[in-house]
Amino acid sequence: MNLTLKIWRQAGPEAPGEMVTYPVSDISEDMSFLEMLDVLNEQLNAKGEEPVAFDSDCREGICGMCSLMINGEAHGPEVTTTCQLHMRSFSDGDTITIEPWRAKAFPLVRDLIVDRSAFDRVIQAGGYVSVNTGAAPEANNLQVRKEKADRAFDTATCIGCGACVAACPNASGMLFLGAKITHLGELPQGQAERDARVVKMLGQHDAEDFGGCQNLGECSAACPKEIPLDVINQLNRDFMKAKR
Ligand code: SF4
Ligand code: FES
């Protein structure tokens, strides 16, 4: 495939940015989107031009680093991570627009890279879970209902990619926060600090300049891990109970 890429270029947080158009050739439909960007950077390097800065790590859909806005959609046309998006989702001759996440809480670092450490600070605000030291407890001493265990597991799959924030018109982080609150809130081990955790984490969410939630649902629709919208209900219920 031969493609035309329109990519946001910005040398640093204070530098002026602009969309720059690049042709890229010899793209296989079996390549991932990030491999296609690797090819572009090899072609730019060969011409002595500055390669495009973008984030990636695992390239297996696990780490959440590969956050890109592709043709105006978080992670592009498939509900997956950018590293798991393949070029077969595009056609020869396509023009593809690539931008960084746009959210006040995720300041731009360079080109397509944003700083998502606000998410880390929200998690840190939740503190530790009390676990007594000593020998490992007998597994069957602490029984967890199957549906609760499943929900805890499903919500723990959030990889902190930030697509929910990028897709939300308010740049709200409530789906991410709801996932984190829910996966501990469903388990016996998460009960001791449950009230304090939700108050501190929501306070940090708001302090980081994430927006408010209006239940639009764009976050859940864009989430590569299919975190359901009702985790936000659980977050709100936990918060109201904690403040009573
Ligand atoms: S809730 Fe989904 S979209 Fe949001 S950070 Fe977690 S995995 Fe990414
Ligand atoms: S690079 Fe790790 S999820 Fe995409």
**Which ligand sits closest to the CA of 176?**
1
Q: Above pLDDT 90, what percent of the chain?
A: 92
Q: How far is C-alpha 150 from the geometric centre of its chain's CA atoms?
A: 21
Lowest mean pLDDT among 15-29, 120-134, 181-195, 223-237: 120-134
Instruction: Pick the residue whose CA is nearest to atom 2 on ligand 1.
Output: 223
**Domain identity same for 225 and 133:** yes
CA neighbor of 235 nearest in space, from 153, 166, 180: 180
Kindly report, residue by residue over 100-143, the tens digit of the pLDDT: 999 999 999 999 999 999 999 999 999 988 877 788 778 788 88
Name 23's bridge partners: 4
**Domain identity same for 80 and 137:** no
Please report the atom of ligand 1 found closest to the CA of residue 165: 4
Domain of residue 143, residue span: 117-243
**Domain identity same for 228 and 123:** yes
Confidence of residue 39 (pLDDT cuts 50, 70, 90): very high
Supply the DSSP symbol for 151: H
Range 15-19 average pLDDT: 97
Mean pLDDT estimate for the chain: 96
**Which ligand sits closest to the CA of 34?**
2
Using the mean position of ligand 2's atoms as its centre, give its distance from the Cα of residue 1 in Å. 24
Token pair 């918060």 is found at: 239
CA neighbor of 69 nearest in space, from 95, 107, 94, 100: 100
Which amino acid, 90? F
**Domain identity same for 124 and 234:** yes
Using the mean position of ligand 1's atoms as its centre, give its distance from the Cα of residue 210 in Å. 14
Q: Is 163 in the pocket of ligand 1 (CB under 6 A)?
A: yes
Alpha-carbon gap, residue 70 to 145, rounded angstroms: 40
At which of 67, 90, 110 does a domain end? 110
**Domain identity same for 98 and 132:** no
At which of 42, 75, 110 does a domain end? 110
The SS3 call for residue 116 is coil
Number of domains in the chain: 2
Ramachandran region of residue 71, left (φ > 0), alpha (ψ -120 to 50) or beta? left
Using the mean position of ligand 2's atoms as its centre, give its distance from the Cα of residue 56 in Å. 6
**Which ligand sits closest to the CA of 106?**
1
Kindly report, residue by residue over 45-77, the tens digit of the pLDDT: 999 999 999 999 999 999 999 999 999 999 999
At which of 110, 135, 150 does a domain end? 110
**Domain identity same for 91 and 150:** no
Q: What one-character-per-residue DSSP string does 75-105 give?
A: T-SSSS-GGG-BGGGS-TT-EEEEE----TT
